[in-house]
Amino acid sequence: MYDIDPRRQLRLRILFAAALGGIAALLVAVVAVYSRFPEEPWLWALFAAAFVYLEWNAVEVNDRLFASPTVMVLMTAAVIFGKETAILGLALMAVIGPLTPADVRERRWFQPIANSGQLVISAVTSASVLVLLLPERIEVATLWRVALATGIAAVVHSMVNLSLVSLVVTKVFGHREVRPWSKYGAVVVPMLGMGFLGGLLGAAYVLVGSATLPLIFVVFFVGRMTFASYGQLREAQESTLRGFIKALEAKDLYTRGHTERVAYFADLIGRAMGFNGTRLERLRWAALIHDVGKLAVPRDIIRKKARLTTEEWSQMQAHTHLVEDLLAEVDFLQPMVAIASNHHAHFDGNGYHGSQNLGHGEPPLEARILSVADSFDAMTSTRSYRVALTQEYAFSELRHHAGTQFDPDVVEAFIEIIEQRGERYGSPDVSSEAEARRRAEQGVTSPVPESVAGDGEGVVFDG
Amino acid sequence: MAERNVHRISAGVLILTLAAGVAALQATSASVLAVIVGAAAISVAQLVSVPAPSGARLHLGIAVAAAVPLLAPDAADTIAVLAFGMAGSLVVTWLLPSARSAGSARFLSDLLAVVAYASVYYVMVDLVTLDPEANPALFDWWQLFALGAGGVAWYAVRAFLQSLVGLEREDLSARYLWLLGLEDWSAVVSLFIAGALFGLAWPTMRMWAVPMAAMPYAFSHLAFVRYNGTRVTYGQMIRALGQIPEVAGLAAPGHATRTADLAVAMARELGLHPDDVVELEYAALMHDVGRITLNEPAILRAGYTDEDIARWGAQIIAESPYLTHVAELVRAQHQPYRRAGQERDLSVPMASKIIKVASAYDQAEHEMGLRPIDAIEQVHRGSAYDYDPEVAASLRRVLTHRGVLV
């Protein structure tokens, strides 16, 4: 799904692994000459073990919240190791950090080598900054310098790390990054905080004594645990909704996978248009629920052969609205329902506005994205009344209605990202509406309703 | 009436506490100012409550109390600080109208837990005679160890006292409350760690000990707040999904919510584990989700059984990897609790039996329009195979407690 040329990608991956690994090896060699190993090897082993454990069990709470205590572990360890031995101590911790047992078992080497490499580069850079800034002696009067130094070093570490990761991601996987700096901005404050705390904990060990060690480690692990349980619950929430919709759609041949694909397209467009964090998450959720109202509509109305009677039409609307109102009672889903229920609204203010009416006029950007994603999938997948159309046809339809039904910026962003990723959807050869309907009539698919009036998914039919 | 008794008892205990504080003050070597500062810190912290993962709230006083023995020169100082601190918190809650009603009961249980904590701590510290001058590091380690033991005592006594409420209340089992009290260990650990870090670091690091002790707790606090928020919206979302068959006209309106409400009350009365109660609630809210399949005309024509509804529902729920167990509960809900020649079919989960009874009762009351006494009679009549008599008895107790049955 990602890149068209797997051979080129493999070459790039080897190149990056070799380059990052090579630079890291060189750095470790240089550091080993100029810096010593920490005087108490057991202490190094303790921190290395904590670091490795936390690296393996990294917690991913959505990207607005960085809950990575690994940087804190590095900063605490650096302060405890002291100026002379911090750089080598940290570099060696970074070498082993990304090697997971799964990688070793499955003999995957490129990724761990590339990861180790970029982690070593980040760790050596930040440890050097730290050594420069740390006071000669740690005492109460110099604590502010310790905390400041570890705060800055933690920011440096994550900046270098993020830059290297996004370099690899853009070059190897061809992901386009718009406004990468917004991502960097988001880490500064949490990282300053983590570094500050890590430095103070390290200083406490130096000033108070070894009895602080159990407390320090409990801080690392309880912190990870609390964030892990939060992240897991969030994931459970999303996967519950996804699973629910997937199971219900699966019953219908023509809608199977529709929501998943629309959520995927919406996510792609959102990223290409510079969404991140909460906004991207909200768009994804809105895409997930955009069709949930239809699950409550009797199937015979959805698949009706003739035009819907007024009564059937209002029954369908009523059911859809009832479900939307139901979901709007979930505090967290309220804004998503408002977006989703507007996905049939037109760019120029015409079209159908949902029950959670946001007012007429231009619908919000999220709803405009959803509208493009939804219509594209409707055109490139088979429906009861026609077979799937080609991607080219769908693109030209999107462009044709850009400015009236669709937002032209969204349409162009979408077409560009799909072409750039080399993904293909829809039929290989059915390139006209009439042909698609004729084939559906001849085909194995069940007898065909003429039109699903008001379904509104395909632009071409209600525009 | 009962509340006035609690107020009277706590007033008596308050006098005893103050007397203990004054007596300890006679023996103390610390300055009076230090005692006042410590006591004031506890009183204020007791007023601040923070969320714990289970949804309960913890009072910050214990974090301060955890630091006291590390900072106080000997036991008499600790007793003085804790006694005046707890007494102060009670007086403050009496002055605040909003906190007054619950304040006395809380004072009594918190005081007992703190006494347990301090006693265990000093028993542990005195078990081994260590000279803080000769070997400060070892002394610190031992102090921390004693603090951990004291913390466990505090935690257990607190949960035990909470579970005592279950002896008084008909609709809550003591076992459920005891297990619920044990849910929040991560928040308790975070609070104790904050106190211990502060207590150890203050003598050398002074004001720097404050951010160092507060920040880890602040991070955990953030996680707890978000966890609780997500827990609430997750529950709301499951409630909404469970109602989709109802708005589609395929199930009786309100049935899912009422069944879940009744089932949760029965589970608490029967003393299920709090984690199981959460799963049971989700399963009950979605127990009729399989009915959404009925909007397929072909299925309506072909006919269906209760087992089909349970199976379809389980299939839908099982799509989420986090809800496989909930799906199992939904799948098992149609099963009889015993078959001919058996005492009980042990493979049927308790939660499924509870849902079956709650759903049947609600149907009898709301869909057949029976009076509660007749609805429960229906359930009792079905006790040969369908409804577990133990669960039916619990339903009767819950309804009696609610005043539905007399």
Residue B120 maps to a domain: yes
Q: Determine the pLDDT at residue B270.
A: 95
Q: Determine the pLDDT at residue A293.
A: 83
Mean pLDDT, to the nearest integer, of A231-253? 85
In chain B, residues with a C-beta closer than 8 Å to the C-beta of A222 are: 186, 189-190, 193, 216, 220
- Distance in angstroms (rounded) separating the CA atoms of residues A280 and A346: 21
B215 and B130 belong to one structural domain: yes
Tally Cβ neighbours within 10 Å of residue A337.
26
Residue B226 maps to a domain: no
CATH number at B113 reads 1.10.1760
Q: Which two tokens mark A278?
A: 């909460």
Q: Determine the pLDDT at residue A459.
A: 31
Domain ranges of chain A: 6-233, 251-462
B197 and B329 belong to one structural domain: no
Residue B177 maps to a domain: yes
Size of interface A-B (CB pairs under 8 A): 189
Alpha helix (H) residue ranges in A299-389: 299-302, 310-328, 334-340, 365-380
**Number of domains chain B is built from:** 2
- Distance in angstroms (rounded) separating the CA atoms of residues B332 and B316: 14
CB-closest option in A226, A236, A297 to B186:
A226
In chain B, residues with a C-beta closer than 8 Å to the C-beta of A193 are: 215
Q: Determine the pLDDT at residue A177.
A: 56
Write the single-letter amino acid at B103.
G
Residue to substitute from B238, B244, B281, interface A, most A β-carbons within 10 A: B244
CATH code for the domain defined by A251-462? 1.10.3210.10
Q: Candidates 3.30.360, 1.10.3470, 1.10.1760, 2.60.120; correct CATH number of A6-233?
A: 1.10.1760
- For residue A176, pLDDT over 70 is answered with no
Mean pLDDT, to the nearest integer, of A434-452? 59
- Distance in angstroms (rounded) separating the CA atoms of residues B182 and B178: 7
pLDDT band at residue A443, thresholds of 50, 70 and 90? low
| φ and ψ of B203, to 5 deg | -55, -35
List C-alpha distances in Å: A249 to A146, A254, A256, A328, B295. Answer: 57, 8, 5, 21, 13
Residue B227 maps to a domain: no
Residue B300 maps to a domain: yes
pLDDT tens for A310-365 read 888 888 888 888 888 888 888 888 888 888 888 877 887 776 666 555 555 678 89
| φ and ψ of B239, to 5 deg | -60, -45
Q: What is the ipTM of this complex?
A: 0.90
- Distance in angstroms (rounded) separating the CA atoms of residues A10 and A8: 5
B77 and B210 belong to one structural domain: yes
Tell me which residues of chain B have a pLDDT lower than 50.
none
pLDDT tens for B128-148 read 888 888 888 899 999 999 999
Alpha helix (H) residue ranges in B206-254: 209-242, 244-247
Q: Report CB contact under 8 Å: B247, A298.
A: no
- Distance in angstroms (rounded) separating the CA atoms of residues B296 and A295: 11
Q: Determine the pLDDT at residue A458.
A: 33
Q: Report CB contact under 8 Å: A230, B190.
A: no
Residue B378 maps to a domain: yes
Q: B341: buried, middle or exposed (CB in 10 Å: 19+, 13-18, 0-12)?
A: exposed
B102 and B43 belong to one structural domain: yes
- For residue A451, pLDDT over 60 is answered with no
B212 and B357 belong to one structural domain: no
Q: Which of B25, B117, B143 lies closest to B77 in space, CA to CA? A: B25
B63 and B124 belong to one structural domain: yes
pLDDT tens for B19-35 read 999 999 998 877 889 99
B114 and B186 belong to one structural domain: yes
Q: Which of B303, B299, B290, B228 lies closest to B256 in space, CA to CA? A: B290
Q: Tokens 């850079």 map to which residue?
A: A125
Contacts of A18 (CB under 8 A, 6+ apart): A113
Residue B233 maps to a domain: no
Q: Which of A27, A49, A426 lies closest to A221 in space, CA to CA? A: A49
Write the single-letter amino acid at A440.
A
Residue numbers of the domain that contains B163? 2-221
Q: Determine the pLDDT at residue A355.
A: 55
Q: Determine the pLDDT at residue A227.
A: 83
B133 and B214 belong to one structural domain: yes
B212 and B265 belong to one structural domain: no
Confirm or reject contact between A212 and chain B (CB < 8 A): yes
B172 and B254 belong to one structural domain: no
Mean pLDDT of chain A: 83
In chain B, residues with a C-beta closer than 8 Å to the C-beta of A235 are: 322
B262 and B394 belong to one structural domain: yes
- For residue A1, pLDDT over 50 is answered with no
List C-alpha distances in Å: B91 to A28, A52, A104, B16. Answer: 63, 50, 63, 14
B196 and B62 belong to one structural domain: yes
Confirm or reject contact between A185 and chain B (CB < 8 A): no
pLDDT tens for A256-313 read 889 999 999 999 999 888 887 788 888 999 999 988 888 788 877 777 656 778 888 8
Q: Determine the pLDDT at residue A361.
A: 63
The partner residues of B49 in beta bridges, in order of sequence, read B59
Q: Which of A50, A88, A94 lies closest to A69 in space, CA to CA? A: A50
